[in-house]
Structure 1
């Protein structure tokens, strides 16, 4: 009699898949970054104990901000300037980015030169050329553009507007091209198969589908421009950033916190208005990356239908605000091609021609590149961890009565505490992202010695506020069916998170983090300005000393590092899909 065979045991999951390979690489990179920051090295002092008293005075002043009428008038005018810079910079960057996004889209070139047709080989070549050209302006932070333009145009509002427009236009073009390429292609292909000319097929088959996400990202870019316009005040461009710098240099902490509160209110108002308009349009995510389709283009939580009258008022306000801001800043575009500007640009171009760097220079650049990379990795790791945690605390659909993490017996007595946690979490996220990263770096330098650690912490705090808000929105727009089913079956709050929410949103969370990692690398420049180390500090020193030849070499190293990070980030996002 034959012995019955036992069922084969299931194969163990491999530890060397594409996704796990990236995971091991990421963990190793974080460990290396901690070592580079000096954490775990017993002989390296990190904390400056003598500066902690100054740090205490700084936070104590938050309770008694300066409220005298004369200073409040100054802050009111500075707030208007900051808003005007953001409006003008965003408008121009979206116009530039829309055209650049079309040219950088692989779908655009494949539509004009289909594969298998004559000249079909041109499509990938032209796509790669356009994407490569965009890498240069977006790799250079707006602060560096501002410092460079400052040498040519002097203290002029045009400096701040162009400093936002140039890099943001390239960033918008890159993101717009990715949105267009990731939009479903079936309607476009159907129109092409029906004989519709390529341009019309693209305009009617692809653009209407991509428009909601393009519009949503435009609102998000406006919020980013608002933060950047505050950062540009550090170089003397005016606005709230300039008032913050003056108060910080003179150690007037009460005035400093008044500027902070004005910046927080401005960011909060723009954030609220942006969210309301997007929700009425049915676009609930600022940035739809690796998120469920139900959460990216429509409100799955039963939001009310759009109120056309309020939307019309918003569009009218935008139509009025844009020309008013351009008029208020009195931008003199003729200065761009004036003889004086052309002469200065020619001198800079002549002196910026570099010689081949020596071995010592190359070694220094490699060392600083490593520190810059370590700073960005450590910053985004901390920001992502905090953002994921606060994405549950700051989401309306989690702890409030009827939320996914609120059981039926908690609905009555937990309501006040849940609202306190929600408002406190959102307030902390708003405070973190509203205050510019270089200001956070100066604050951390009170209690830490100069190096990449205070820079990494400053970038982490600033990006924590951004990532936490993006991730909280993803949680709010998540289809609730799986999580509610688990809750009905008696699952605890932690089990609902682990098995009902994270499996759906974790790819999107990681995609957000990878996207912000690319931004973090660029932002190492602005914390380098205040002594946080890395390539950013070298770049600012070379700009200050008019060493344009050395600046070109350092920018080349920074550009190569940016391209490498972009490539790694792209490959990791592809693995998540």
Structure 2
């Protein structure tokens, strides 16, 4: 008797309602940007000449030896900023991630018998404290610290470490909360102290994902170090800013290529290290639960057994079954005599690959060298001048009671900021999904999902597929290597100031980040549904739409929602170039030393960020 078909899902459900809400939000954002309005002029026809001149200069960058030496030194400064900022942010983030995770408080301070959950209350309190440094962009931190410490490398390092430490704490806490707690609970039930059980039962499982995200955060720190050059912190961003002021496009493109070389090298290096560690993704949002074996933690050569397990050949597969008729099947030693049951030999600790050893050694050497090269003067933080300026800033930052006009202006600018972030993430999400497929090896190269081996392994070399693969990856690298404020200045050649050029700039920048993350998801996907569809005669487009996209759609949406939170923070940096919203208001208040007004704006920005964070979590939770 054939099985009945499952009932058709309801047309109106939670996902359809979220989709409808997203479409309405996108239409509202387009209206806020002035798209489709007759009385709004968006395109500046007189800027096409400069726009074309800028792109033509990409073919002839400045190769003056003296200028190349300056750019080489600036590249090392940017790298040192990224290393130092990442190191401090990981130290702060690990401690903050542990004390803000739910599993930590459930372990060390479980709910009392009266039902009062002190641990949860403390965790929520620490999360509230870490919300403030997270919502303030590193550029705002840099401008604030600049007024206290002056032009000093310590400004750039702390501007990266403070907000990134809070962001790392948030992500680390989510990783710990989504790690399988059964080994932890088993140790606690066996009488192991809670702290020891946490260190040995939970952290080792979460370590691969923690390290993988640490590499991703290092790449983000390099991009932020380039952005901080806008405020005079030095490095590649500062040199690009000087070239922009003189409209020397060949020199600008030399700086862009230096940024691409730096970020591309770090990208390849971190990818190699993660593969050797068994971590296939930079940011694994929707697969943090370890209730089942994860292929990312298994040997990439076998993809079925851990490295420490060595399978031996076996004979009769039923020899371990008591009903198989084998008289020795009930004897646990019989398989060792007749080799009739499957036996595994547990080896010692696996040998670390030499490339991984070299990478750990390079990192151990790079951290102290970077701190030594920047010559950070930590005594400036506690000097009399710094304490005096900090006290004056705190007193000046006490906000006045807002009147109706101020609240109305903040509400209007908040709506513009929200619309800017929605347009940016919509552009980045759609573009990232499209480019993630040609940028994935498993899609375009022979033997992949869309190009199975038809002529055997000795078919001609796929020059066209390689050109598509590396062209897509270079495009993604270019879009994420160039900071968003630079993209905004480029689009201001042909667009009038407003939220539209800022949204396009943020969208293009985040497109490169999302496209690379999504391409990794495509490369690490289970390929059995796609190959089954191809074996049944499905074409490449059908395999893509029915075999690949349905599996990845949930993770694509999760990545997009995660970057939406980041886009909202980054609206501040495009506000520097007149993109509008709360970011532009913050820039005006900082330049006029209106710290009281800045506090009000930051409170409003924090509430907006909290709302976006909550909404993103509500949408991502059912997808996990």
Match of 2:569 among 502, 508, 522: 522
Q: Corresponding residue for 1:106?
A: 102
Match of 1:490 among 537, 540, 555: 537
Q: Corresponding residue for 1:180?
A: 176
Counterparts of 1:57 and 1:301, CA distance in 2: 49
Shift of residue 391, structure 1, vs aligned partner: 0.9
| Structure 1, unpaired ranges of 5+ | 1-6
Q: How does 1:159-308 map to 2 (within 5 A)?
A: 159-291=155-287, 294=294, 296-298=296-298, 308=353
Structure 1 position 127 matched with structure 2 position 172: no
For residues 435-474 of structure 1, give each alpha carbon's deviation from its aligned partner in whole angstroms, at most 9, with x where no partner exists: 0000000000011000000000000000000000000001
Highest CA radius of gyration, 1 or 2?
2
Pick which of 559-568 and 110-119 moved more: 110-119
- State the secondary structure of the residue aligned to 2:442: coil
Structure 1 position 356 matched with structure 2 position 401: yes
Q: Corresponding residue for 1:463?
A: 510
Match of 2:483 among 429, 436, 454: 436
Counterparts of 2:63 and 2:295, CA distance in 1: 43
Shift of residue 113, structure 1, vs aligned partner: 2.0
Residues 19 and 575 in structure 1, CA contact (< 8 A), matched pair in contact too: no
- State the secondary structure of the residue aligned to 1:143: helix
Structure 1 position 29 matched with structure 2 position 25: yes
- State the secondary structure of the residue aligned to 1:466: helix
Q: How does 1:541-552 map to 2 (within 5 A)?
A: 541-552=588-599
Shift of residue 291, structure 1, vs aligned partner: 3.9
Structure 1 position 334 matched with structure 2 position 370: no
Residues 142 and 164 in structure 1, CA contact (< 8 A), matched pair in contact too: yes
- Taking structure 1 as the reference length, what is the TM-score of the superposition? 0.96
Residues 300 and 479 in structure 1, CA contact (< 8 A), matched pair in contact too: no
For residues 347-385 of structure 1, give each alpha carbon's deviation from its aligned partner in whole angstroms, at most 9, with x where no partner exists: 111111111111111001000000000000110011010
Shift of residue 483, structure 1, vs aligned partner: 1.1
Q: Label 1:118 to 1:91 Cα distance change in 2 as closer, same or farther (>3 A).
A: farther
Residues 279 and 299 in structure 1, CA contact (< 8 A), matched pair in contact too: no
Residues 155 and 236 in structure 1, CA contact (< 8 A), matched pair in contact too: yes
Shift of residue 26, structure 1, vs aligned partner: 1.0
Shift of residue 321, structure 1, vs aligned partner: 0.5
- State the secondary structure of the residue aligned to 1:73: helix
Q: Label 1:119 to 1:89 Cα distance change in 2 as closer, same or farther (>3 A).
A: farther
- State the secondary structure of the residue aligned to 2:435: helix
Residues 217 and 286 in structure 1, CA contact (< 8 A), matched pair in contact too: yes
Shift of residue 575, structure 1, vs aligned partner: 2.3
Match of 2:433 among 372, 376, 388: 388
Residues 78 and 236 in structure 2, CA contact (< 8 A), matched pair in contact too: yes
Shift of residue 115, structure 1, vs aligned partner: 3.4
Match of 1:309 among 354, 364, 369: 354
Shift of residue 566, structure 1, vs aligned partner: 0.3
Counterparts of 2:167 and 2:427, CA distance in 1: 24
Counterparts of 1:496 and 1:220, CA distance in 2: 30
Pick which of 469-478 and 11-20 moved more: 11-20
Q: How does 1:392-411 map to 2 (within 5 A)?
A: 392-409=437-454
Counterparts of 1:299 and 1:141, CA distance in 2: 39
Counterparts of 1:233 and 1:509, CA distance in 2: 32
Residues 300 and 477 in structure 1, CA contact (< 8 A), matched pair in contact too: no
Residues 295 and 479 in structure 1, CA contact (< 8 A), matched pair in contact too: no
Residues 19 and 576 in structure 1, CA contact (< 8 A), matched pair in contact too: no
- State the secondary structure of the residue aligned to 1:447: coil
| Structure 2, unpaired ranges of 5+ | 308-350
For residues 79-124 of structure 1, give each alpha carbon's deviation from its aligned partner in whole angstroms, at most 9, with x where no partner exists: 0100000000000000000000001101000111223547851022
- State the secondary structure of the residue aligned to 2:492: helix
Pick which of 401-410 and 236-245 moved more: 401-410
Q: Corresponding residue for 1:96?
A: 92
Residues 115 and 121 in structure 1, CA contact (< 8 A), matched pair in contact too: yes
Shift of residue 295, structure 1, vs aligned partner: 5.3
Residues 479 and 511 in structure 2, CA contact (< 8 A), matched pair in contact too: yes
Q: Corresponding residue for 1:61?
A: 57
Shift of residue 16, structure 1, vs aligned partner: 2.9
Counterparts of 1:10 and 1:225, CA distance in 2: 49
Residues 294 and 478 in structure 1, CA contact (< 8 A), matched pair in contact too: no
Count of residues paired in the alignment: 571
Residues 278 and 300 in structure 2, CA contact (< 8 A), matched pair in contact too: no
Residues 30 and 423 in structure 2, CA contact (< 8 A), matched pair in contact too: yes
Counterparts of 1:380 and 1:298, CA distance in 2: 34
- State the secondary structure of the residue aligned to 2:601: helix
Counterparts of 2:16 and 2:354, CA distance in 1: 50
Q: Corresponding residue for 1:425?
A: 472
